[in-house]
Structure 1
Amino acid sequence: MGKLSLDTFLDTFLFSCYNNRTPWDAPAQNKDPDADGSCKDGTDNGGAAAVITTGSARNPIELEVLKRKGAKYTCSYDEEKNAMNLALDWTLEHNRSSDTIICSDSLSLITSIENRQSNLREIIDKLQQLKGRTIIQWVSSHSNIPGNELADKYAKEIAQDGEPPVTPLSYNAARALIKGEIRDQAPSHPTISKTYEHLSFKEDRKIGSRRDAALLAQLRSGHCKELAAYRHRIDNSKDEKCPKCQFEAETQQHWISCPATILKRQRIFEDENLSLGVMTKQPELVLAYAKETFHQ
């Protein structure tokens, strides 16, 4: 096969199978690169490696190792790009016309190639120059896939070897550094600290609508107009007592422990004794509880 156009290349290049089988089941005897990048804590002292192997993918024969020392300040994505470039440079240098499989554990990089990201111009240009059929195969990291484990090993070795080169700081590396260094301090207010003690972005991402997310944030802060105590704070003519039990002010804590809604808590949470931490531990259930206890 000759040089592919960009459109043809992107339509035919990115496969997750090889002749309807994964590469691990194919009797490949060609020389194929495994590429991997590494950096400490995802932000500094990077390294990239590509391992050229032949034979069975389950029992590869290591032929050549390519390494590149990464920058002092970097990120995993940039080092994965470096590893891909190493693999492509080797493939181009050896003028491969037979089938080649390039394996990478970076799904974000492979997806970016497929989406023609502008910051991958160098990689896409090299891919256009390839001859033969080349398959980019995603593999799961740290899953005992031999070639990937070798690439990871050599990437870590070069990352720890010597002084890093002085290179301009990339946008991706700067973003990773900022994300790693700048963190919100733990809340000092006793009520808020209890409310947010189980904060999980994974759980919060399950909230399906902006309206629900806004209600949840208001409940967590206590600044929610559905709570009688808050309505009293902004208008002291309003009664602060709980409209359901009339026992005491309807604060966050009272709302999740009101004696008039015990049965609802038992049904929704399977527990009638809740702490403020439930606001972040079980946000979906908190919203379900809110929808059944407000506006009544």
Structure 2
Amino acid sequence: MKLSYTVHIHETVLQWISAHYVIVGNETADKLAKEGSKKDQQSSSTTYKEAKHIIKQYQQRKWADQHPTYNKCDPYYELDRSEQVLIFRLSTGHNRMNHHVFTKFKIGSTDQCPCAAGAMTAEHLLQTCPLYKVLRKRFWSQPTSLQNKLFGCLDDLRRMATFARETQATT
């Protein structure tokens, strides 16, 4: 005896249409929603891979729109990860130096540099701290702006990262 089965597959589409109670223009919105619900709904199945690709493209476009000054040729992106982190921490002030730790986390007794000549900040460390005067001279024979040290060319950025590592003040 041979049995055969017939399977019928039906597709059901649910569409949620929000109510617009006590909202300006709700009559117009309700009318448009009702019209839309009566129209044939497009059936489209998207694979996981396609959905992922669409979302990724959308996020990349959104990010690019929000960061119009981004330049992928910026020398910062040619540094290794540890150099990028070091420069980022110094340029934003979010680092382990006394000023940030004391003012943000209330850790320690003061924000002063061990040299006692000012608050221990990136600018102080890189520009004026007497403890690192000789080391600064070794890295920068000529006076160099803080802007150039933190945002200059690739050589400037590498020099600055090496200087900061040698001071051990940021770790």
State the TM-score, normalizing by the size of structure 2. Answer: 0.51
**Mapping of 1:82-97 within 5 angstroms?**
none
Letter in 2 for 1:255: L
| Sequence identity percentage | 18
8 Å CA contact retained: 2:149, 2:160: yes
Match of 1:184 among 67, 76, 85: 67
Larger radius of gyration: 2
Question: Which structure 2 residue ranges, 5 or more long, are not aligned?
Answer: 1-53
Distance 1:205 1:256, change over 3 A: same
Match of 1:283 among 146, 152, 157: 157
Number of residue-to-residue matches in the alignment: 108
State the TM-score, normalizing by the size of structure 1. Answer: 0.31
Q: What is the Cα deviation at residue 205 of structure 1?
A: 2.8
User: Where has structure 1 moved over 3 Å in runs of 4 or more?
Assistant: 199-202
Higher share in strand: 1
Distance 1:180 1:232, change over 3 A: closer
Question: Which structure 1 residue ranges, 5 or more long, are not aligned?
Answer: 1-170, 187-198
**Mapping of 1:245-284 within 5 angstroms?**
245-257=115-127, 258-281=129-152, 282-284=156-158
1:294 matched residue in structure 2: 168
1:206 matched residue in structure 2: 78
Q: What is the Cα deviation at residue 215 of structure 1?
A: 2.0
Higher share in helix: 2
Q: What is the Cα deviation at residue 180 of structure 1?
A: 9.6
2:7 matched residue in structure 1: none
**Mapping of 1:155-170 within 5 angstroms?**
none
Instruction: Let me know the Cα RMSD of the aligned residues.
Output: 3.1
**Mapping of 1:58-207 within 5 angstroms?**
178=61, 182-184=65-67, 201-207=73-79
CA distance in 2, matches of 1:229, 1:272: 24
Letter in 1 for 2:140: F
8 Å CA contact retained: 1:263, 1:272: no
1:240 matched residue in structure 2: 111
